[in-house]
Structure 1
Amino acid sequence: MPTTKTRLNPDKLLNSKWTAAAPRNKEKHFLVVALNRHAPDGPVQTVTLEAVYTRRQSELPWRALTDAAQWLQGWK
């Protein structure tokens, strides 16, 4: 399993697709449904991911998506 970092532009993450490297509860594929900022024009702090199968949402720091050991860009 690769452990390299993926380069991302946080402002372009909305509606992007992600695959969990270690799926749990049948949740493997995710969509970024929201970019969360502390100020309206501020930098992206966190993203809201929604599981495609269960529609469960979770929030995490956007930089967590750069960890290839946990997240793969696109649906694999």
Structure 2
Amino acid sequence: MRRLNPKKLVLSKWTAVKPVNRELHFLVRAVVPPESPELPSEQFELEAVHSGRVQIIHWRDLQDEGQWLQGWK
């Protein structure tokens, strides 16, 4: 399992292991602010480079090497 720092994920590049709808490469676009300012940020907007579709993902989901590879492969 790779170690990730959620504060450094913005603008990082990711490759889906099993692409859906030709969406292979993704970019972490922004941090989703938590409901309360006291809580840490745990969710990010992940944008597909091919289609521009945006999805919300928990930063720990990127640690699953069965779903995501760091960088564009």
- TM-score (normalizing by structure 1): 0.87
- Kindly report the root-mean-square deviation, in angstroms, between the aligned alpha carbons of the 2 structures: 1.2
Residue of 6, 10, 28 corresponding to 1:10? 6
Identity of aligned residues (%): 51
2: CA distance, partners of 1:34 / 1:17? 12
Number of residues paired by the alignment?
Answer: 72
Following TM superposition, by how much is the alpha carbon of 1:47 offset from its aligned partner in structure 2, in angstroms? 0.9
Alpha-carbon displacement from aligned partner over 1:1-45 (angstroms, at most 9, x marks no partner)? xxxx11000000000000001001000000000112314564221
- TM-score (normalizing by structure 2): 0.91
Are 1:73 and 2:70 matched, yes or no?
yes
| Long gaps (5+) in structure 2 | none
1: CA distance, partners of 2:58 / 2:18? 18
